Amino acid sequence: MQDLLDKLALCIERGKSERASAYPPEMQNEDGASEITIQLLNADVHPNDIVLRALMPAMNRVGEQFAQGQAFIPQLLISARAMKASMAHLRPFFESGVAVHRGTILLGTVAGDLHDIGKNIVGMVMEGDGWQVVDLGVDVSAGRFVAAVAEHPQCIVGLSALLTTTMGNMKDCVTQIKASSPATRVYVGGAPVTEQFSRAIGADGYFPDPGSLAKHLAALIKPREQPTG
């Protein structure tokens, strides 16, 4: 069974979503993430094991390559797409309670900013890491974040901004979220964002890539204190 898990991890790393996928060329006419996930489920491999032993390691490796400048946005996108093909088969198990979520994370691009590629990649990586992702979309006001936090007690919030002109709206979001729910952890990310800026606006941290955020949360939140949405 480990062979199948390794094949699934390779499909995620290389971006092979399904058998019909033309990319990557050297894997044409081979099963992709979708087909292999079905095979694993049919073999009674638990969804948690598929996530922990295939999806997470694969996306962690891609994330590390990205952080080291050995992979770029297109590779992240195709890897995330392959992971999404796998998660399409796993999601019903999470929704039914058969598989266990780490917790709930709210994601959104702040008001005035319509960029969503980075946010979408973070969402797919976090979902593959066992989180329930609530994507609020783009151009999200501080009020919408506050309302969403109220709907998902003990959630974690991820704010995204790609423009220097919209970074200031992150501070408003952090301030209002902390005012209504002081214990809620709020993390920020995006091309112009820095750790110094994160500290200045009172956020709980900045992460340059989704893999580092996933690792931070895995170390920070122990099983007995995992948030539930």
Residue 120 neighbours by CB under 8 Å, 6+ apart: 80, 135
For position 190, which CATH number holds? 3.40.50.280
For position 79, which CATH number holds? 1.10.1240.10
Residue 175 neighbours by CB under 8 Å, 6+ apart: 142, 201, 202
What is residue 223's predicted lDDT score, i.e. its pLDDT? 43
**Residue where a domain stops, chosen among 71, 100, 129:** 100
Q: Are residues 222 and 125 in the same domain?
A: yes
Q: Compute the distance between CA of residue 5 and CA of residue 53 in angstroms, rounded to an integer.
A: 7
Q: Compute the distance between CA of residue 210 and CA of residue 189 in angstroms, rounded to an integer.
A: 9
What DSSP character marks residue 208?
S
Q: Compute the distance between CA of residue 116 and CA of residue 1 in angstroms, rounded to an integer.
A: 37
The alpha carbon of residue 5 and the mean position of all alpha carbons in its chain are separated, in whole angstroms, by 20
199 token code pair: 């500290």
What DSSP character marks residue 164?
H
Q: Are residues 15 and 64 in the same domain?
A: yes
53 token code pair: 């032993």
**Residue where a domain stops, chosen among 67, 100, 133:** 100
What is residue 229's predicted lDDT score, i.e. its pLDDT? 45
Quote the domain boundaries for residue 49.
1-100
What is residue 6's predicted lDDT score, i.e. its pLDDT? 95
What is residue 66's predicted lDDT score, i.e. its pLDDT? 77
Number of independent structural domains in the chain: 2
Determine what percent of the chain is predicted with pLDDT higher than 90. Answer: 53
pLDDT, one tens digit per residue, over 59-103 is: 778 877 877 888 887 888 888 889 889 988 988 887 676 776 788
14 token code pair: 């290389």
Residue segments in the chain with a per-residue pLDDT below the cut of 70: 95, 97, 100, 222-229
pLDDT, one tens digit per residue, over 70-82 is: 888 788 888 888 9
What is residue 130's predicted lDDT score, i.e. its pLDDT? 77
What is residue 77's predicted lDDT score, i.e. its pLDDT? 82
Q: Are 134 and 106 in contact (CB under 8 A)?
A: yes
**Residue where a domain stops, chosen among 70, 100, 130:** 100
Q: Are residues 91 and 171 in the same domain?
A: no
Q: Are residues 95 and 105 in the same domain?
A: no
Q: Are residues 111 and 223 in the same domain?
A: yes
What is residue 57's predicted lDDT score, i.e. its pLDDT? 85
In three-state secondary structure terms, 169 is: helix
Q: Are residues 200 and 211 in the same domain?
A: yes
Q: Are residues 96 and 172 in the same domain?
A: no
Q: Compute the distance between CA of residue 68 and CA of residue 182 in angstroms, rounded to an integer.
A: 35
What is residue 113's predicted lDDT score, i.e. its pLDDT? 92
What is residue 226's predicted lDDT score, i.e. its pLDDT? 41
